[in-house]
């Protein structure tokens, strides 16, 4: 199933556009992909670790971008 067929993702993106358009769409897509990948995994820690890694990478990139300006 690709993004065009994924109703849950399309709904999430539409809600983002209405409620919080300042949230980066690529971040939302990455979060959704992590949750989807781990949704049937009994070990909930894997999802949390992946989300933390994603957030850490985003914060690092933001800080480095701000420092270079």
pLDDT digits over 6-26, tens only?
999 999 999 999 999 999 999
Q: Is the pLDDT of residue 1 over 60?
A: no
Kindly write down the DSSP assignment for every residue of 11-48, as one continuous string.
HHHHHHHHH-TTS-HHHHHHHHHHHHHHTT-S-HHHHH
Task: Break the chain into its structural domains and give their ranges.
Answer: 3-67
Q: Is the pLDDT of residue 28 over 70?
A: yes
**Angle, alpha carbons 38-39-45 (nearest 5°):** 50
Higher pLDDT, 19 or 3: 19
């Amino acid at each position: 199933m690709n993004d065009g067929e994924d109703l849950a993702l399309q709904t999430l993106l539409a809600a983002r556009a209405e409620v919080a358009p300042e949230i980066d769409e690529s971040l939302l897509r990455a979060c959704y992909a992590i949750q989807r990948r781990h949704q049937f995994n009994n070990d909930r820690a894997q999802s949390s670790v992946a989300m933390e890694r994603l957030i850490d990478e985003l914060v690092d990139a933001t800080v480095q971008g701000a420092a270079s300006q």
